[in-house]
Amino acid sequence: MRLSWDMDIRTRVLIVALVPTIVLGLLLTTLLTFSRLNDLEEALTQRGQATARQLASAAEYGLFSGNRDVLQRLAASALESADIYGVAIYDRDNSLMAVAGLQVHSASNVSPPSKAEVMEISSQMLRIVEPVRHAPSLEEDPYTLTGGSLYQPLGEVVVLISRETLDNRKLNQIVTALFMLLAVLAGSIALAVLMSRSVSTPIQRIAAAMSDIGSGDLATRVPIEGRGALRRLAEGINEMAAHLSIARGNLEQRISGATLQLRERTEDAERANMAKSRFLAAASHDLRQPMHALGLFIADLSRKEHTDDTRLLIERIAASAEAMENLLDSLLDISKLDAGVVSSNPRSFALGPLFERIGADYGHAAKERGLRLRVRPTKLWIHSDPMLFERILINLVGNALRYTPRGAIMITARRRGDHVLVEVRDSGVGIAPENQSNIFLEFVQLENPARDRSKGLGLGLAIVRRLADLLYHPITLRSEPGRGSVFGVVAPSAPAEANQEPALNPEQNFIGRIVAMVDDDALAQESLAGLLRAWGCFVVASDSLPGLLSALEELEVEPEIMVSDFRLPGEHTGLDIIAHLRERFGADLPALLLSGDTGPETLRLATAQRVPLLHKPVRPAKLRASLAHLLQHAAERSV
């Protein structure tokens, strides 16, 4: 029998104590019982043999003389002994001379039983046979009657002894042995239980105390009991618990002190961070207002006639303003993605029109750098957010233009199972393997140690990584120094749809469009109104809601589109003004919100009221595209 190692120590002690006792008790009980049973049977046999010898000695005369009556009385007298079932006396010819106790004959058959019948009756009994011999006198020579050999027996006496008493005695002996065995086992079990308790109980208490100490209850103590190793073990555990309790108290004091210092420093850092956030928000808002006005003034100024020197100066001013706008836009994109306020709206769309639009927008810039921008036509569709995916490709193409001194740039798409791999390939400087994991970090430019603004700011690929993570699109990169780079975006494939949303027309005709505008900054209002008027719009501008409503009533016109700054003096925000105008001129009035506040709360409020939000400074092209988008959707709803 193989013992399971899952048994506890008490069970093991019981098994060790009981198994030898049980085995020894069984062996001794079995041995003594069989020995006693053999003694009983041997004693019965000896008593039967003694009775048979006595009958044989007494039956000598009767057999010699052939006197049956004497033999019958002799056989009957033998039945008076206990356990004697029957007696039969035979002569030397095996003839039955007397029988007692063997009533096998019936009333109709009075003949005595034969020897075979006696044998059949005695098959279940103890049968003892004793020969009857002639006892010679002192004058007779035992050899004279037989011619030198022993004399022949006169007959034999058969004594049958019942086994019933013997069997009863054996059964009693077995029952007594079993009771004795059970008594021994009960005593052994009681002794084993007492012994196991004396051994296992202290060990179990020690184990429970160790479990409590391990769970943190260092006040637990083990009772000191017994002698020897268990006593020393209990004393050692109590001493260890006391030392641990003291050490934990010291450690808790140190942790409390460190926690208090950390909390104070955290609060200081949070206050500093809040102050920094307020400063950056105020600085960003105050910086974006003049940058917004500057961009619009430059756009309006560039539309007029100028000399070559003035035109060159305007272009340089525009380039500087664009660099500043790129930095502000990139920092804004990074902050919005990190703050989690950018959400994706995936849908199925075709890659072909997107490729054509990017090729048209960046083909001229590539030609100015002496590069070829090739767009491989495709009929593949993907499931993604069109605006965010386009931003990823634009950043990848812009990165390729900056770091490709000569050669070509290609945009291509290939099916990969259930996905589509969109790649931007270039023949530029390439990226070493050890640097490929760093290029997606902020402000990392491997080939621009002098921080040349013409090569970007080092934020384009950081934005790509964040947008790809938002859309769950893996980014792939293959590159070797001097042999160019291949950036890839993996997006889920989508089935082509028959009715695709028509592409926006960037050259939307704004002539005659009535635009209501609210901005409290005079420069921003003047620059935006001038740009809209240059596009052919009829602009009604004011710095407040009452002034705008008064101007609309005076001119007796209804606005076709609303453009408002978010932060305004007084109790109304730009969203409040848009909501008021929609109540008055219709809930479908197209509206656009401008703001220099880059906090996430402004974006959430605008999204809740279904108003697009553009952060200042707004590029004229982006403003024109947004207005065209709103006017086109308004026209589609009215059809």
What average pLDDT does this structure show over 466-483? 88
pLDDT of residue 185: 77
Asked whether residue 511 carries a pLDDT value surpassing 60, the answer given is yes
Give residue-wise pLDDT tens across range 118-129: 566 655 677 888
* Domain final residue pick, 441, 472, 494: 494
Q: In terms of DSSP H, where are the helices of 303-403?
A: 308-339, 351-368, 386-402
Q: What does the alpha-carbon distance between residue 132 and residue 75 come to, in Å, rounded to a whole number? A: 14
Residue 574 to residue 605: CA distance in whole angstroms? 11
Helix axes 229-302, 620-638, angle to 10 degrees: 90
Report the CATH number that the domain containing residue 465 is assigned in CATH.
3.30.565.10
- Side-chain-side CA neighbours of 461 within 13 Å: the count stands at 24
Is residue 503 in some structural domain?
A: no
Q: Does a structural domain hold residue 618? A: yes
Q: How many percent of the chain have pLDDT more than 90? A: 13
Last residue of a domain, one of 170, 198, 217: 217
CA nearest to 506, candidates 601, 621, 360: 621
Do residues 559 and 542 touch, judged by C-beta distance below 8 A? Answer: no
Q: b/e per residue, 116-144, with b = 16+ CB within 10 A?
A: eebeebbeebbbbebebbeeeeeeeeeee
If you ran DSSP here, which 8-state letter would residue 466 be given?
Answer: H
**Residue 502 domain-assigned?**
no
In terms of domains, do 204 and 236 share one?
Answer: no
HSE toward the beta carbon, residue 66, CA cutoff 13 A? 2
Domain end position, chosen among 494, 522, 556: 494
Same domain, 24 and 168: yes
Residue 328 confidence class, pLDDT cut points 50, 70, 90: low
Do 195 and 236 share a domain, yes or no? no
Is residue 140 situated within a structural domain? no
* Residue 470 pLDDT: 87
Number of domains observed in the structure of the chain: 3
The residue-averaged pLDDT of 441-445 equals 56
* Structural domain of 401: 344-494
- The pLDDT of residue 453 is above 50: no
11 within some domain = yes
Taking the C-alpha atoms of residue 639 and residue 634, their distance in angstroms, rounded to an integer, is 9
Q: What is the predicted pLDDT for the residue at 424?
A: 93
Q: What is the dihedral of CA 188, 192, 193, 199, to 10 degrees?
A: 170
pLDDT at 221: 78
pLDDT of 4: 46
> How many Å apart are CA 155 and CA 213, to the nearest integer?
95
Weakest-pLDDT range from 172-176, 230-234, 426-430, 580-584: 230-234
Considering only residues 527 and 282, tell me which one the structure prediction assigns the higher pLDDT: 527
Report yes or no: 499 and 515 within 8 Å, Cβ to Cβ. no
Count of positions (residues) in the chain: 639
477-496 average pLDDT score: 90
Distance CA 183, CA 28 (A): 14
**240, 242, 254, 611 from 247: Cα distances, Å:** 10, 9, 11, 62
Tens digits of residue pLDDT in 258-275? 888 888 888 887 777 566
Q: Where does residue 387 rank: exposed (0-12), middle (13-18), buried (19+ CB within 10 A)?
A: exposed
Q: What is the pLDDT of residue 5?
A: 44
Query: Are 357 and 267 in the same domain?
Result: no
239 and 204 together in one domain: no
Q: 61 and 21 in one domain?
A: yes
Q: Could you read off the pLDDT of 529-562 as tens digits, one per residue? A: 888 888 889 999 998 888 889 998 888 889 999 9
The candidate with the shortest Cα–Cα distance to 544, out of 521, 514, 513, is 521
Asked whether the beta carbons of 597 and 579 are under 8 A apart, the reply is no
| Same domain, yes or no: 45 and 189 | yes
Tens of pLDDT along 23-57? 777 787 788 777 777 877 788 788 888 888 888 88
Look at residue 214 and tell me whether its pLDDT is greater than 60. Answer: yes
Give SS3 for 428. coil
| Statement to judge: residues 581 and 631 lie in one domain | yes
| Percent over 70 (pLDDT), the chain | 76
- pLDDT tens-digit profile of 135-156? 665 555 554 544 444 457 888 8
- Give which of 540, 561, 532 is closest to 620, Cα–Cα: 532
Over residues 299-324, the pLDDT tens digits come to 777 777 778 778 778 777 776 676 66
Query: pLDDT digits over 342-352, tens only?
Result: 677 889 999 99
Residue 632 lies in a domain: yes
Query: What pLDDT does 110 receive?
Result: 45
Span 585-609, pLDDT tens digits: 888 899 999 887 766 778 788 888 8
- Angstrom distance (rounded) from CA 218 to CA 518: 71
CA-based radius of gyration for the chain: 60
Can you give the pLDDT at residue 167? 74
Output the domain CATH number for residue 80: 3.30.450.20
Residue 1 has pLDDT above 50, yes or no: no
For the question of whether the overall pTM of this predicted structure is more than 0.95, the answer is no
Helix (H) or strand (E) run with residue 515 in it? strand 514-518
Amino acid making up residue 296 = L
Is 145 contained in some domain?
no
Shared-domain flag, residues 194 and 240: no
Distance CA 525, CA 527 (A): 6
CATH code, domain with 262: 3.40.50.2300
- Stronger pLDDT, 180 or 537, i.e. the higher one: 537
The answer to whether the CB of 589 falls within 8 A of the CB of 562 is: yes
First-residue to last-residue Cα distance in the chain: 91
Q: Take residue 114 and report the two structure tokens written for it.
A: 């034969």
Most confident among 56-60, 162-166, 210-214 (mean pLDDT): 56-60
Residues 274 and 338 in one domain: yes
For residue 109, what pLDDT band results from cuts at 50, 70 and 90? very low
In a domain, 500, yes or no: no
Judged against a pLDDT cut of 90, whether residue 492 lies above it is answered with yes
Are 336 and 351 within one domain? no
| Those residues with Cβ within 8 angstroms of residue 268's Cβ, 6 or more apart along the chain or in another chain | none
Whether 513 and 477 share a structural domain: no
